[in-house]
Structure 1
């Protein structure tokens, strides 16, 4: 039995899903189980996912009846997984983080048993291939500074990268309850860990990705960016009183 599960949420991705690409990538990664979450799509996303599941033994589909957002889709996926996995990871449907990079993060987690959470980090370094628009890069740096200095109060560079690896037993605890926000739930997840476990600085680690390519056409709309400050405040006041 495979010891790792990768969860990928989908919402109205029918026109962007390359069936053959998914078939090839997931078929080549047969040491990993994939759980594809249909987040209440209104197009043919579910049909495509079901066809992938029919072709691949390491691929299953879980469909939500209505759109609930990325946070809840991943949460439901983690809680829905019935097999006993050692690690659970999640990544975005557009493969901006390639599965090969997820496996590299997984290897880093396995090589250091002290690590309970491994974060992919989109750091542009000489020799790697991290491609982001300037606007997203600068917005991300402002956001990350606020999160690092005020909310988490630890030096995290990139909470919003969609590539995470978490020990399965820890993931089920951190995702047990619904999140306050739809898009910055990663911050809440890290806060939950920081509040509940005393080893944050040695058990949570970021690794720069060698490849991350922005694919565009993000499902995060302008209004979501505009309400980010309010979401940050919501998280701050909800969790601040619980911090040790």
Structure 2
């Protein structure tokens, strides 16, 4: 399964123009089975989405997971999850995360066998530590293979992620921020121990460098138990229906 994480900055690009169409183009070029978005919704009022649902439906092969609690948002606390058609979303969860400002994380269960969690953590490390402890508490003891991904806002590659490292393998695919000259590995993955990373990278196309201030990151994973069923894939689901 190919996974991607992308902070779309409310579809405002490096040129300060809001252009959801080019964000959609970047998402399509990722060719991922699941895409976790940060800053998918605006911050004020009812938090209307910056990436219209109709545009996603008409121009991608992805479907938004039902995370919004109103009719205008795409996700929750700006976190949204897009799942490729043919993959069944069998459950969703929302988690409040402690912080000075409202923060949350979302989890989407796919085919009853795999869970993707998206988060956008606080700017201050002391609050990130609290948020990581909470994520470990709500995710660490569950049976499903799990990936946590998003904008962790951690600049250090050695420190700052200790709470989550107790139950997950941590991985930073590369420098993804800022797009003009990436130096920070803010966008990362954390994999439960029953998953194996088979490939990863930073999606550094010319369009991606303009569409947001973060570059998307991606990872390919598979189960480590050879006897276990493979991770769900859209191709497999569509073949079964055929």
- Shared fold (TM-score greater than 0.5)? no
Q: TM-score, normalized by length of structure 1?
A: 0.34
Q: Which protein has the bigger helix share?
A: 1
TM-score, normalising length: structure 2: 0.34
Kindly indicate which of the two structures has a greater share of residues assigned to strand.
2
